[in-house]
Every structure is written in C-alpha cells, then in structure tokens.
Amino acid sequence: MAQRNLLQFIILGLLHQTPMTGYELTKAFDSDIGEFWSAQHSQIYPQLQKLETAGALTHTEEVTGEKLARKRYAITDDGLDTLNTWLAAPTAASTNGKDEFALKLYFIPDASDSRLKPMLEAQQVEHTTKRTHLEHQLATKFPDGAPTTGLGHYLILQHAVLREHEYCDWLASALKHCH
C-alpha cells in the first residue's frame, strides 16, 4: 500500500455532516481541512464511485437550471459504521511530517553559510503570511471562542494557527544563530 486510504474516511466524515456533491467535497479541501489533508477532484470522483459500489454511499441526481445534473452523495448506515470504526481506532502520532525546508536546512552544514540567512528570511515571509491568514480565519469563524457544536472545526483551525506560530518562532530563533 502506498498509503492507508484515509481519503475514504474523510469523504464519509464530510458526508456525515451534510450530503454533498463531488465538487463541494473538492472545495472542502481548499478550506480548513486542507491544512491537514489534500485531495484533487481527480481522486475524489473515483473514490465516490468506489464507496457507492461498496454500499457506503448513495446519490440522488439534482438538476440545476435546464440540463446540468449534479450528484448529491449521502452516507448510508454501512458507511456510518465504517466511519465510526475508523474514529474509534487508535491513532498513532503522525509520522508523515514532510517538510522540504527543514531538510534543506539540514544540508546547510555551517552557520556561516551565506545561503542560510536569505533562506530563513524567505521562509519567514511564507509562514508569517500563512499564520496571519489562519489567525484571521479563526477570528472570523469563531469570534466568540470555542463553540459547543462544531468544536472539532474550531480545534483544527486552532491547531493550524499554533503550528504556524511554532514555525515562525523557530525561524526567528534560527536567524539568531546565523552569522
């Protein structure tokens, strides 16, 4: 296996919240959950077909305007079982943390290397932008702090903010070490 096919569970989880089309699912990965998983429509549409064949989903056709039919998928009882089994299973601490920039730093051997400072500064711009954006999202979507319903949404957004916070702090401290 190349991965453990978590995509199926994410789709089930999203459809459990509310029935959606493939297009809407694709867009979901552009928002908050995109911070922790990504998927393109070319992967989502085939996966929807597989899940439906397996009996985890059903779809109904909706017609917008004159002709355009879209498929709105809903989770079945079987699908809900699959989702709950996944949620109940123990989760290992994520080991997938792939970070290209960290690797590059690893290969800059010396503190006096002239490439070090500009690299760190460029990365600082990237992550500061991302951090600001995420903080704005959090403040906009949850102006009153943690909600009772939708707590998971709040928590992962907060996680993303804290993650970027850590990254910015780390870059700042790294810059101090570089001559």
Within positions 108 to 167, which residues make up the interface with a copy of itself, using CB under 8 A?
108-112, 115-116, 119, 122-123, 126-127, 129-130, 146-156, 158-159, 162-163, 165-167
Measured between alpha carbons, how far apart are the two ends of the chain, in Å? 45
Minimum distance from residue 83 beta carbon to a copy of itself (Å): 7
Q: Which is nearer to DNA, 72 or 165 (CB)?
A: 72
Six token digits for residue 162:
């804290």
Among 13, 19, 24, 178, binds DNA (CB under 7 A): 24
- Is residue 106 within a helix (H) or strand (E), and if so which, with residue range? helix 100-106
Among 2, 88, 92, 103, binds DNA (CB under 7 A): 2
Among 53, 90, 140, 143, binds a copy of itself (CB under 8 A): 90
3-state DSSP assignment of residue 103: helix
Provide the Cα torsion 22, 27, 31, 32; round to 10°: 10
